[in-house]
Amino acid sequence: MSEPRESQGWEQLARRAAEGAAAPEESALLRELLVFTLDGDPYAIAVERVREIVRLRPITPVPRVPEAIRGVISLRGEVVQVIDLRRRIDLPPAEPTRSTRIIVLHGDDGRLSGLLVDAVSEVLRVTEDRLRPDGPGDATAVAGLCVRGDQFVSLVDLDRVLDLGDGR
C-alpha cells in the first residue's frame, strides 16, 4: 500500500516543480509569438490572439470588399473572413503551396478573422528585452522587431492589419 502513496508523492512533487519552474514574475516577462513566413521573411503575432491554424481550403470570394480580403471560409459552421496578408502589406502575390495556412484569430468583437500566410514555422518564447518597438508615427503593419540570434522577426500589428476601413 505504500507504493501508491509514494507514487502520488512523486507526482505531486513533479507538479509543484513544474509549476515552480515558471514563476509568476518570470512568466510575466516572457512573450509567446507565433512565427510565420511571407515572401521568405519571418513575421510574428502574439499567440494569445490565435484561435487555431488551418490548412488552406476553398475561399468564397465576396463582392465589393477591399482587395486584401480574399473572401470567407466556413469553419465548423462559423463564417471566417480571410485576409491575404501579402496583399495587406503590399507584397507581391504568390500562388498557394502545400505550406500555405490560415491563422484564425479571435476578434475583439467576438468575430473571427483569418490571415492567409505562406507558412507557419514555430512558437517563439522571448523575453521583453528582445523586443524593439517600431518608430513613432509609423503607419505600417509592423509594430516592432524581435531579435532572434542574428536575424530580426517583424512583429505584426494586428489592429492595423485587421482595420480595413481605409479602403485598401
Q: Are the CB atoms for 141 and 47 separated by under 8 Å? A: no
What are residue 60's DSSP bridge partners? 72
**pLDDT, tens digit (0-9, with 9 covering 90-100), for 12-51:** 555 555 555 544 445 457 889 999 999 999 999 999 999 9
User: How far is residue 58's CA from residue 74's CA, in Å, rounded to a whole number?
Assistant: 9
The domains of the chain, with CATH numbers, are 31-162 (2.40.50.180)
Interatomic CA distance for residues 58 and 116, integer angstroms:
12
Tell me what pLDDT residue 139 has. Answer: 59
The C-alpha atoms of residue 117 and residue 55 are separated, in whole angstroms, by 10
- Position 50 scores a pLDDT of 95
8 Å CB contact between 49 and 104: no
Predicted confidence at residue 14, as pLDDT, reads 57
Confidence of residue 148 (pLDDT cuts 50, 70, 90): confident
Half-sphere exposure of 135 (CA within 13 A, CB side): 4
Kindly give the pairing relationship between strand 112-117 and strand 78-84.
parallel
Residue with cell 479571435: 106
Instruction: Return the percentage of the chain with pLDDT > 70, whole number.
Output: 77
* 7-21, 83-97, 103-117, 152-166: segment of lowest average pLDDT: 7-21
Alpha helices for 40-99 (secondary structure H): 85-88
Query: How confident is the model over 76-83, as a mean pLDDT?
Result: 93
Q: What is the pLDDT of residue 95?
A: 92
List, for residues 118-141, the tens digit of each pLDDT value. 999 999 998 888 888 875 555 578
- What pLDDT, on a 0 to 100 scale, did the predictor assign at position 9? 54
Residue 31, H or E segment:
strand 30-38
The answer to whether 94 and 39 are in contact (CB under 8 A) is yes
Instruction: Find out whether 69 and 125 touch, Cβ atoms under 8 Å.
Output: no
**Predicted confidence (pLDDT) at residue 167 exceeds the cutoff of 50:** no
More confident residue, 5 or 151: 151
What pLDDT does residue 6 have?
47
The pLDDT of residue 128? 83
